[in-house]
């Protein structure tokens, strides 16, 4: 099963870049994680690197998130 991380409605964690919180508003550009453990590790890393922000990151199953976008 594949997963993505939702930052907020219409905003997703993107592939890694120089940004401390790589994000995209284009669902197709969202970073796809191959398993839940990988997604959880990245989620925790983003929260710890951005402790000055009130992040409410959500890990969603890719296909469910895709249906949410439509």
Segment 10-45, tens digit of pLDDT: 999 998 666 789 999 999 999 999 999 999 999 999
Q: How far is the C-alpha of 17 from the C-alpha of 44, rounded, in Å?
A: 17
Q: What is the pTM of this model?
A: 0.90
pLDDT of 1 higher than 70: yes
In this predicted structure, what is the pLDDT of residue 41? 95
**Overall domain count for the chain:** 1
Residue 34: domain span: 3-69
Q: Which two tokens stand for residue 11?
A: 């905003």
């Amino acid at each position: 099963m594949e997963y993505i991380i939702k930052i907020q409605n219409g905003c997703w964690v993107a592939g890694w870049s120089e940004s401390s919180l790589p994000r995209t508003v284009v669902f197709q550009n969202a970073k796809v994680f191959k398993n839940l453990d990988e997604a959880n590790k990245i989620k925790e890393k983003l929260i710890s690197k951005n402790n000055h922000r009130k992040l409410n990151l959500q890990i969603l199953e890719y296909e469910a998130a895709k249906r949410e976008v439509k």
